[in-house]
Amino acid sequence: MNIKGVFAASITPLKKGFSPDLDSLPSYLDFLAGRGCHGALILGTTGEGPSFSPKQRIKIFKAALEVRQDWPEFRLLAGTGTPSLDETEELNNAVFDLGFDGVVLLPPYYFRASGEDGLFSWYKRILERSVPVGGAVFGYHIPAISGVALPLNLLSRLRETYPDKFIGLKDSSGDPELAVKLGNRFGNDFYVFTGNDRLFSLALENGASGCITATANLISPDLRNLWDAFQAHEPTVEIQNRINSVRETLDAFQPFPPLIKFLVAKFYNFPLWPVCPPLSPLTKEIEDRVSTLIDLA
């Protein structure tokens, strides 16, 4: 598997009625590829994935593939995982048929007290029924949003039972201790991607394979420079500090989708795409505050 490096958790362009803007997505991914991203996660949290129907999501995945006309090595991961087994299987089957490089599989997030055995049973069915041999599956650990943690023991069980399918994790917990524990538990035998830019250097030092972050929509050149410096065994402290400064400011204005869409429009000449309810666009007050704190020019 050559799924490593800097990945943007891509925003999803939308039209005024909240339907996907399929014509704009390829050009946006072209922008990300041109700024140093090795790939993108389509329809993750920043991409508002759970807000769309399976039919809409498959159309978005198909549109994303157009970026490979100019960037054939650009890696594409799909955000899947719903509380419905059938819908999740439908999405995974479509994604692998389309030729995506892998899926980032959100756990079922409604029955949150199902326990480790329940989660293992859910992943087991998904992996056996909708993932081909060699199909890359990454767990999606984002307990602050999903309400469902993926404990280390569960990850080990899935990795040991499905070594040719369950290959890694997107860790968006923001927990530095977990970044270290993942390295200690799995070493280089698990493709861990940090979802928090402030942990990028720490994660890499503990065997991580890269990052998948919302901030990569804005500062992917810095993230790519850090990645390249680490591969070359060069210092990364100065670059990491610069990344931290931006991320710390952005963290004060959650949730990310309306914030990232506003900043992409402000600094990179894209339309100010709407966000799908229940998300709301930034207020004028917050736009003004963000504009005084962030300068990406």
pLDDT at 188: 86
- What is the C-alpha to C-alpha distance for residues 258 and 251, in angstroms, rounded to an integer? 13
Q: Is residue 291 part of a domain?
A: no
What domain count does the chain have? 1
Q: Domain residues for 169?
A: 5-236
CATH of the domain at 203: 3.20.20.70
pLDDT at 69: 97
pLDDT at 65: 98
Mean pLDDT of the chain: 96
What's the pLDDT tens digit per position in 167-189? 999 999 999 999 999 999 998 88
pLDDT at 259: 98
Please provide the size of the chain in residues.
297
- φ/ψ of residue 142, rounded to 5: -140, 65
pLDDT at 54: 96
Four-CA torsion 23, 28, 34, 37, nearest 10 degrees: -120
Q: Is the pLDDT of residue 49 over 90?
A: yes
Q: Is residue 288 part of a domain?
A: no
Question: What average pLDDT does range 267-278 have in this prediction?
Answer: 97
Enumerate residues 6+ apart whose C-beta is below 8 A from 293.
Answer: 249
Q: Is residue 191 part of a domain?
A: yes
72-81, 106-115, 219-228 — which is least confidently predicted? 106-115
